[in-house]
Structure 1
Amino acid sequence: MTTITAAVAREHHAPLTLEQLELDAPRANEARVRMVATGICHTDAIVRDGVYPSPLPAVLGHEGAGIVEEVGADVTTVVPGDHVVLSAAYCTHCLERRAGRMAYCENLFAEAFGGRRHDGSTSLTTSSGESISSHFFGQSTFATHANVVESSIIKVDPAAPLEVLAPLGCGMQTGAGSILNDLRPPAGSSIAVSGAGAVGLAAVMAARVIGCTTIVAVDLHDSRLELARELGATHTVKAGSDSTLDELMAASDGRGLDYILVTTAIPSVLTNAAQALAIRGTLALVGAGAPGTETTFETGASLVKGWTFKTIIQGSSVPQQFIPRLVAPWEQGRFPFDKLVKTYKLDDINTAFADSASGATVKPVVVF
């Protein structure tokens, strides 16, 4: 057993508590990783608050970056000393995984939200023997150390700063991958991104990289719209206004947008976005809503537009391939996602959550 410090979610809608926990030895398919940094993602907040079910008490966190200290007997992709970024775990046997569609693993909920290993054990306990849920997205990185399943591990260039790379594990990967891996808009096409948080702004940057010439950012916060302009948006639209739809249509010269990516699962936003699509346009959702949330679309005019609605998970990426691909454009200044980051100490993790919720910080990153 190794004693570590972790931020524990014990109750829904309650602050995380810093505690000393016992971390067991890594299993054959795991690596012990010393955390250097971890991003805070909206998914951490909705699990803390019980929107998505995952057993508490738990150590959450799923955008980790650190250094491998020890590897299990079956681990072949990393060795002690390697610098790694951590992403969502996936199983090793379902049909989707075998087809290379890791983001759509048939066992996603068990791998990400189960809080246990496959044998039912957890890697974390208190000194009194209380079990604490671990392996959140295969990681549980709100801690100084974690035993991480190999499918979550991506080896990266040791010259790149880990405190910068940490957000690539989920939010940046989701936004950029939705554009580069899934939607793949042709050069010269038009796109709107609804929600200029970390995911949305990653999509804005990716849309510029891929060659979209009309890039519209939609958000409630003026500061985020200003940042979107800096990162590549050609137009900005204030969300929640009676004129939002008119402004979206104006940005596309009245024909509608070829693509719209929605990063929040608010039904009214999706309904309105569909109206702003061009003929044969595509509306994509990456935001997670509460289970049972429903959205309605008008069918008359929609039918003759021939538009598509789709959902995207994790940018439809294979993390071990895609995350290293994002490092090079960052180093070249073409994907400056570090402009979204504000760092916090572990002691201030609850402040980081609050700043994310209020919009004060786009992407909080805890640096150990």
Structure 2
Amino acid sequence: MSTTTQAAVVESAGAPFTVGEVELDALRPDEILVRMVAAGLCHTDLGVASGGLPFPLPGVLGHEGAGVVEEVGSGVRSLVPGDQVLLSFSSCGTCAPCRDGHPAYCDVWLPANLIGGARMDGTSPVRRKGESIGGHFFGQSSFSRLAVVDERSAVRVGPEADLSLLAPLGCGVQTGVGAVWNVLAPRPGSSVVVLGAGAVGLSAVMAARLTPATRIIAVDRVPERLDLARELGATDVVDAGQVDNLTAALTELTGGADGVVETTGNPGVLRQGIDALAARGTAVVVGAPPFGTEVAVDVNAMLPGKRITGLTLGDAETRTLIPALARLVADGRMPLERLVRHYSFEEIQTAVADMVSGAAVKPVLTF
């Protein structure tokens, strides 16, 4: 039996989010029905809404959901109604990367999460006036008061968890954290450069602060973001708008960076970060420009063991990382509240505008 609810729908590329009525499909055995309490707004949502990624529109986006389980499918064993859950990406659970503990590199990650707009059998769990629309975004499409969610997208947290604060853990925060902890893994005395002081970059700064790295450098063009980066753990900041040569500025500070996290999606910034690496240094590519974007590298400069690695969702095993992050936030060791600004669900377009202008680091919608 279908369920009627309210969701924010994007009608076509470049159109605003408009809240209206949709119908949700009956649960499959491996799905749960979640009543949303909060949902973070991410640049990936805006990229899809603008037409920059091939997701079928009209559709319902949202991939940093947090809520309470209302109902479970017949095959669900890990959750029961009443559980509080944080939502993240989906995965198959059976391919080699999933079995090896790297579900963010699942064989079907792209169609299952980002571009398919449907379950793997081609059906969408979301309809409007009887017609299917794009749904199943990251296995959740959480810009909706109720959502049909893949069991593998949901991570249970305790009843004391503040869902309205923790919602961003499912994407932006774990991405920045994972870049530092799972890829760079700083050794004592390491230097970490974070290019871009948005939600992902500032999460990387907070993560680096909890490692033995002794130099943490944040780069941005917005002075207020750089001030916040200092408060969250950056030992140094660089205003990219005030330096003629970013590579030279970073090299002067570090003598060659051991690790670089690129979050802006700007290929020119990525190239400058690569050029600032020390021998055996690693650049982690997090920011996602339009499909097909390329960046040139100096091949001979790479020979001293420099590495460039791409990253999806922090290479996180969500059921291990997300509860750990929730505990760090609760204990005050990761001050996520410094990034979050709350908006009611109906204010979603105001949240979008504030994210685009930079007025809000991490907008979170509350239901």
Counterparts of 1:78-97 in structure 2 under 5 Å?
78-97=79-98
DSSP-derived class of the 1:288 partner: coil
1:82 deviation in Å? Answer: 0.2
| CA distance, structure 2, for counterparts of residue 217 and residue 64 of structure 1 | 28
The equivalent of 1:187 in structure 2 is 188
Q: Deviations over 1:249-276 (max 9, x none)?
A: 2221xx2111011012211111111121
8 Å Cα contact 1:238-1:244 kept in structure 2 = no
Instruction: Find out whether 1:175 has 2:176 as its counterpart.
Output: yes
**Which moved further from structure 2: 235-244 or 204-213?**
235-244
1:330 deviation in Å? Answer: 1.3
Instruction: Find out whether 1:42 has 2:43 as its counterpart.
Output: yes
DSSP-derived class of the 2:60 partner: coil
Instruction: Find out whether 1:101 has 2:102 as its counterpart.
Output: yes
8 Å Cα contact 1:6-1:21 kept in structure 2 = yes
The equivalent of 2:270 in structure 1 is 270
Which of 124, 127, 130 aligns to 1:122? It is 124
DSSP-derived class of the 2:101 partner: coil
| CA distance, structure 1, for counterparts of residue 330 and residue 58 of structure 2 | 39
| Count of residues in Structure 1 that have an aligned counterpart in Structure 2 | 364
Counterparts of 1:1-368 in structure 2 under 5 Å?
1-112=2-113, 113-126=115-128, 128-240=129-241, 241-252=243-254, 255-303=255-303, 305-368=304-367
| CA distance, structure 2, for counterparts of residue 106 and residue 35 of structure 1 | 29
1:96 partner amino acid: P
| CA distance, structure 2, for counterparts of residue 268 and residue 296 of structure 1 | 9
1:326 partner amino acid: L
Give identity over the alignment, percent: 49
| CA distance, structure 2, for counterparts of residue 9 and residue 57 of structure 1 | 5
1:187 deviation in Å? Answer: 2.4
8 Å Cα contact 1:196-1:218 kept in structure 2 = yes
8 Å Cα contact 1:33-1:67 kept in structure 2 = yes
2:169 partner amino acid: L
2:310 partner amino acid: T
1:92 deviation in Å? Answer: 2.5
| CA distance, structure 1, for counterparts of residue 191 and residue 108 of structure 2 | 35
2:321 partner amino acid: F
| CA distance, structure 1, for counterparts of residue 272 and residue 226 of structure 2 | 19
1:208 partner amino acid: R
DSSP-derived class of the 2:135 partner: coil
The 1:300–1:181 alpha-carbon spacing in structure 2 relative to 1, beyond 3 Å, is: closer
8 Å Cα contact 2:39-2:65 kept in structure 1 = yes
DSSP-derived class of the 2:59 partner: coil
1:266 partner amino acid: N
DSSP-derived class of the 1:7 partner: strand
1:246 deviation in Å? Answer: 2.8
| CA distance, structure 1, for counterparts of residue 246 and residue 323 of structure 2 | 37
| CA distance, structure 2, for counterparts of residue 96 and residue 314 of structure 1 | 14
Structure 2 unmatched runs, 5+: none
Structure 1 unmatched runs, 5+: none
**Which moved further from structure 2: 135-144 or 323-332?**
323-332
DSSP-derived class of the 1:210 partner: coil
8 Å Cα contact 2:183-2:284 kept in structure 1 = no
1:324 deviation in Å? Answer: 0.3
DSSP-derived class of the 1:327 partner: helix
Q: Deviations over 1:65-103 (max 9, x none)?
A: 000000000001110000000000011222111111101
| CA distance, structure 2, for counterparts of residue 120 and residue 271 of structure 1 | 39
DSSP-derived class of the 2:210 partner: helix
| CA distance, structure 2, for counterparts of residue 121 and residue 285 of structure 1 | 32
8 Å Cα contact 1:264-1:285 kept in structure 2 = no
TM-score calculated relative to the size of structure 2: 0.97
1:44 deviation in Å? Answer: 0.5
TM-align CA RMSD: 1.1
DSSP-derived class of the 2:282 partner: strand
1:264 partner amino acid: T
DSSP-derived class of the 1:193 partner: strand
2:180 partner amino acid: I
TM-score calculated relative to the size of structure 1: 0.97
